[in-house]
Amino acid sequence: MFPWSYLTLFLLIAAQVNKAQRCAEFTDLNLGHAFLGTSVKVRLLLYTRENSTCATLLSHSNLSACPQLNLSRPTTFIIHGYRPTGSPPVWVHDLTDLVLARKDVNVIVVDWNHGAANVNYLKVVENTKKAGANITAFIEKMQEHGGSPSSIHMIGVSLGAHISGFVGANLNGSIGRISALDPAGPQFTGTGPEDRLDPTDAEFVDVLHTDMDALGYREPLGHIDFYANGGADQPGCPKTIFSGTSYFKCDHQRSVGLYLGSLNHTCASRAFPCSSNTDFLDGKCLSCDQFGAAGCPVFGYDVTQWKSILLKLGQTKTFFTTNAESPYCITGYQVDVMIWNMEPRQGYITIKLHYNGTEAVANIDHKSSEFKKNKETRLFAQFDKDVEQVEKVSVKFSTGKPFQPKYKLRILRIRLTHLELQATALCRYDVTLEENSDVTFRPIPCEESNF
Ligand SMILES: *[C@@H]1O[C@H](CO)[C@@H](O)[C@H](O)[C@H]1NC(C)=O
Ligand SMILES: *[C@@H]1O[C@H](CO)[C@@H](O)[C@H](O)[C@H]1NC(C)=O
Ligand SMILES: *[C@@H]1O[C@H](CO)[C@@H](O)[C@H](O)[C@H]1NC(C)=O
Ligand SMILES: *[C@@H]1O[C@H](CO)[C@@H](O)[C@H](O)[C@H]1NC(C)=O
Ligand SMILES: *[C@@H]1O[C@H](CO)[C@@H](O)[C@H](O)[C@H]1NC(C)=O
Ligand SMILES: *[C@@H]1O[C@H](CO)[C@@H](O)[C@H](O)[C@H]1NC(C)=O
Ligand SMILES: *[C@@H]1O[C@H](CO)[C@@H](O)[C@H](O)[C@H]1NC(C)=O
């Protein structure tokens, strides 16, 4: 090749590199910035289906300068929270990709890392209203260019949830939807609705709680509030401070993981309206009648299917349980047990469902259950996975008291009802459980006429 061919090649490569470099990146700061503190700077990174990996930095003042922002499409804003070390949030690309996979929208990642990176959390809280005002001005610009606020969805994580609320309030609740992922608690708990997220901030507000005893918010803030695993401690998250930083953020961050699972269709968790997690675990809230044929709301991105009924209900508090890792969803069964022992029995039940070598397990051990002669005890069994078909069932009874004489639980009838497929209740009649040992049997369809 002649030297000028090399030159052409070089120029071509340089042009490619230059093109690649035009992708806007989320601001990457470090602990140094966090110690010095940063003041608010809002950058808006646009992703679309045409350009899902390379962001365009939007101008706040001139929307015509960015033809990729197509205001005939709906727009989803993604707003992060506190960044104590200044690093970019690890989940932001996954969330962007999955939203774009679901819907042809403009995804605008709000990068307010300058403002969120500060070792002093109180300063960052002060910055949330400033960030909110800035985003509000941008949305007003969008409206001037024909954008409709009702087609805007804001997904706010932690402090980002309250920022979404401020933006929504500034726009008189005209925004279509706010999804709040574990809205921040500290400095917001106990404040009035003007100083935090509330249901008037958008046409529809859905909220997930995963860390309400530490970084998250305890009370309901939306039209529907989902409390995952009770809303405070998440399975698989460290319980002691010796696990380092993940002890502080694991429960809080799980909110994003659960939302990603709902977007990805890896999981569909029904959430049951209930006044407390205890009642929920006790199986007192398994009825979904108020939602008609749709059944209880499914947590996550698709809860908009329940929007009209939820708006009528006002504020609905719901509970669901998850596994420790993806796929997070569990499978629920209502289990009704009737015994014929003369004396009442107290204890814990473990149930396994078997199919073709796979086994799903439910430990009903949040507290000991009471069984009485000829009286039905209702249990809520939550299996770590679903099995296609139930070939065999194993049941174990234990009192949790190793030094007492072993008890027998004489079961007159045990009935398992899949909460999604209520038609196919499975039964077993007359089986005796020896304490601490599995009894395995083939279930049969229940004969309602017998009872
Ligand atoms: C929003 O923030 C950007 C960057 O921080 C700034 O250029 C712009 O003027 C701000 N807009 C308003 C309305 O404050
Ligand atoms: C993708 O975005 C980059 C950065 O704004 C831009 O240079 C490029 O032209 C865009 N590509 C398409 C196909 O829109
Ligand atoms: C906005 O951007 C367009 C396209 O780049 C440009 O033609 C126009 O002059 C800009 N307007 C202002 C007020 O800067
Ligand atoms: C903007 O989006 C609408 C709706 O998806 C589409 O019909 C239209 O062609 C798009 N316009 C441009 C310039 O891409
Ligand atoms: C989405 O689901 C697939 C499997 O269905 C999984 O491999 C992938 O990691 C998931 N992505 C996210 C971001 O959760
Ligand atoms: C919101 O309501 C206030 C007071 O009624 C009004 O001044 C303001 O223009 C409204 N803003 C929007 C975006 O509708
Ligand atoms: C049972 O499991 C085996 C091994 O996992 C698999 O090859 C087979 O297709 C399964 N059979 C049915 C009926 O699901």
Question: How many distinct structural domains can be found in the chain?
Answer: 2
110 lies in some domain: yes
363 lies in some domain: yes
Residue ending a domain, choose from 289, 320, 351: 320
pLDDT, position 1? 44
Say yes or no: 364 and 256 in one domain: no
Q: Which atom of ligand 7 is nearest to the CA of 356?
A: 1
- Centre of ligand 2 from the C-alpha of residue 108, in Å: 15
Say yes or no: 115 and 186 in one domain: yes
- Specify the CATH number for the domain of residue 167: 3.40.50.1820
158 lies in some domain: yes
Say yes or no: 131 and 269 in one domain: yes
Q: Following DSSP, what letter does each residue of 26-89 receive, concatenated?
A: -----HHHHHH------EEEEE-STTSSSBEEPPSS-GGG-TT--TTS-EEEEE----TT-PPP
Residue 388 domain boundaries: 331-450
Say yes or no: 194 and 294 in one domain: yes
| pLDDT over threshold 60, residue 190 | yes
Say yes or no: 306 and 347 in one domain: no
Q: What is the mean pLDDT of residues 122-147?
A: 97
- Catalytic: 386? no
| pLDDT over threshold 50, residue 218 | yes
Name the catalytic one among 182, 201, 251, 282. 182
pLDDT, position 2? 45
pLDDT > 90: what percent of the chain? 84
pLDDT, position 97? 98
Say yes or no: 302 and 341 in one domain: no
- Centre of ligand 2 from the C-alpha of residue 152, in Å: 23
Beta strand 224-228 with 358-371 is unpaired
pLDDT, position 164? 98
| pLDDT over threshold 50, residue 53 | yes
Q: Where is mean pLDDT largest: 129-143, 230-244, 360-374, 410-424?
A: 129-143
10 lies in some domain: no
Quick check: 224 and 206 in contact, CB under 8 A? yes
- Catalytic: 174? no
Q: Whose CA is nearest to atom 10 of ligand 7?
A: 356
Q: Which atom of ligand 1 is nearest to the CA of 42?
A: 5
SS3 186: coil
| pLDDT over threshold 60, residue 117 | yes
Say yes or no: 233 and 150 in one domain: yes
298 lies in some domain: yes
Could you give the CA distance from residue 18 to residue 4 in angstroms, rounded to a whole number? 20
Say yes or no: 357 and 260 in one domain: no
Q: What is the mean pLDDT of the chain?
A: 92
428 lies in some domain: yes
pLDDT, position 451? 47
| pLDDT over threshold 70, residue 133 | yes
| pLDDT over threshold 80, residue 11 | no
Say yes or no: 76 and 220 in one domain: yes
| pLDDT over threshold 70, residue 255 | yes
| pLDDT over threshold 80, residue 283 | yes
Say yes or no: 350 and 440 in one domain: yes
Specify the range with the lowest mean pLDDT, choosing from 42-51, 337-346, 382-391, 403-412.
403-412
- Centre of ligand 2 from the C-alpha of residue 13, in Å: 17
Say yes or no: 295 and 342 in one domain: no
Say yes or no: 291 and 386 in one domain: no
- Catalytic: 33? no
CA atoms within 13 A on the CB side of 144: 11
